[in-house]
Amino acid sequence: MKKAIVRNKTGKRAWSIALLSLVCIICVRAPAAYAAEIYHAAGTTSAAFLKLGVGARAVAMGGAFVGVADDPYAIYWNPAGLASLEGEKNIGFFHNDYFQGLKQDFLLYTAPAEGLAFLKARELRSGIWGLGFDYFYTPKDMERRSGLNENDPLAPISPSEGKFGAYDMAFSVGYGWKPQKGLSFGAAVKMIRQSIDNKSAASAALDLGVLKDFNWLGEDFTAGLSVQNMGPGIKFISRRYDLPLVFKAGLSRRLPGSGALMSLEADKPIDNYPSFILGAEYPLISKLALRTGYKYRHTGNELGPWSGFSAGAGLTFNRFSFDYCFSPFGDMGNSHRFSLNARFGRSGGTSLKGFKGAAQPGGAMMNSIMVAYEVSPKALMLSQRGVKYEIKAVSAASDLYSFSFRMMVRGPVAAGISVAEGELPQTLLSRLPAGARPVKAWEFFSGIGDIQGDIAFELKAVKAGAEEAAYSFFYLDRKGWKEAAPARVREEAGNIYLSVSAPFSTHYALVVKK
């Protein structure tokens, strides 16, 4: 226990040091921010609109999102994050009311890849694909003048020949795939077009990304890497310009207890100095999250120290979410951004389909009774997919007196859970290993929610001499029964108390192995 506390303090101390370091850098550099150095290659790339982030949630966190990327806007930040959108479709809209009358809109759609027939491998069809359309435009209020009179000393200004505007757009097709638990890969192909008045140019680009969950010093982290805008550049009239290639690396962590999300990121574009970003998200209540972030460019932010700041909030209502972000740009003005997202299709709840021998709910158990469990939910985090809760279910009427798990929920959490307790039917009993004698069995039903990870069970059994050492716990897998070894917790009043973890299943059984 002491070791766990030390590790927890170590993890929190590391994040505190990182935050303090960033604040110190900002304070030291802030006075010289307006004299920030200009990179030697600044302004040499084309399609600069590709640098503008999308999704008000990610932008409110300063853009420190490559190591998070767990919502549909992952198609822009890190396409590997699309793999986290399991089992449902999304449609979203983002609007950026940029400074000086500039505007940006982004449309997206994501869906499971199981319906894509051209993906021959079944493993690949387990991923998520998405479409994105990025549109950046200016008002058509710029005057067109030929300049033919510029050598006339009496009337050097040519007469107006009307007005014109400019726009940029990019159409993206992305795919995210999770080959194994905790590891995701993704890619997105972009078709880019730029237009100024009656001149236009086009090109293509590729984004690549990876996400990896890992444990360090007893704490869970997620690391992300991405390379954006790899391509041949854009040839405009007679000259070719490079695309704004950028390399990104990020690290994120969801703090236990509060559910706050912390994210660090380092970016290196080919046309500017590297930037360092710190972002944070805090679930104030189950449906409301507050966010903030700061992006600091090495040698200083060009538009002043406040131009790296951003803040916002997000609301989630069942299948809909709304996010807002505010970003100042010094003398250039302020930016207001918002995004809307709607989820539809399959709910993403844990499915019991495909378990061999599993009968319809309520019909599998013999001599069974329904046990009602009281539920105590604790909100851990708010995301585009809903609210993640830690659920503890307790009942004094069953030998399976407690179980707990984490799940994603949209809407209110059920006040109770019912589980059938009784004897296994012959079809399931015959599948147990030879010599395994069931003491009691339980049947769970679908619709509990989108369960994340294993379920932790606490149960009691009668102390029976030498038999107590032979107690085991089984759960029904798609291929049959699987065993999970229980740990002995304590002994009290002729009973022994056990704890064990196992994946979500239709049936569980406490057995004595002879």
Q: Are 251 and 221 in contact (CB under 8 A)?
A: yes
Q: Are 343 and 89 in contact (CB under 8 A)?
A: yes
CATH class of the domain at 2-144+161-344:
mainly beta
Which residues, listed in sequence order, are joined to residue 219 by a DSSP beta bridge?
216
Name the 3-class secondary structure at 290. strand
Q: For the segment 490-503, what is each residue's pLDDT rounded down to a tens digit?
A: 888 778 899 999 98
- Residue 462, C-beta contacts closer than 8 angstroms, at least 6 positions apart: 494, 495, 496
Q: For the segment 193-247, what is each residue's pLDDT rounded down to a tens digit?
A: 998 887 889 999 999 999 999 888 878 899 999 999 999 999 887 788 899 999 9
Say whether pLDDT at 30 is over 70. Answer: no
pLDDT reported for residue 416: 79
For the chain, the domains span 2-144+161-344, 366-513
Determine the Cα–Cα distance for residues 376 and 69; give it in Å rounded to an integer: 30
Q: Are 293 and 301 in contact (CB under 8 A)?
A: no
The dihedral region occupied by 37, where left means phi > 0, alpha psi between -120 and 50, and beta the remainder, is beta
pLDDT reported for residue 491: 86
Determine the Cα–Cα distance for residues 159 and 157; give it in Å rounded to an integer: 6
Most confidently modeled range among 73-82, 284-293, 482-491: 73-82
Say whether pLDDT at 129 is over 90. Answer: yes
Determine the Cα–Cα distance for residues 355 and 473; give it in Å rounded to an integer: 18
Q: For the segment 271-329, what is each residue's pLDDT rounded down to a tens digit?
A: 989 999 999 999 887 688 999 999 998 887 777 778 889 999 999 887 889 999 999 88
CATH class of the domain at 366-513:
mainly beta
What is the pLDDT confidence band of residue 26, given thresholds at 50, 70 and 90? very low
pLDDT reported for residue 411: 62
Instruction: Decide whether 2-144+161-344 matches 366-513 in CATH topology.
Output: no
Average pLDDT for 129-136: 95
Radius of gyration of the chain (CA): 28
Name the 3-class secondary structure at 238. coil
The dihedral through the CA atoms of 214, 216, 218, 219 has a sign that is negative
Alpha carbon 121 to its chain's center: 25
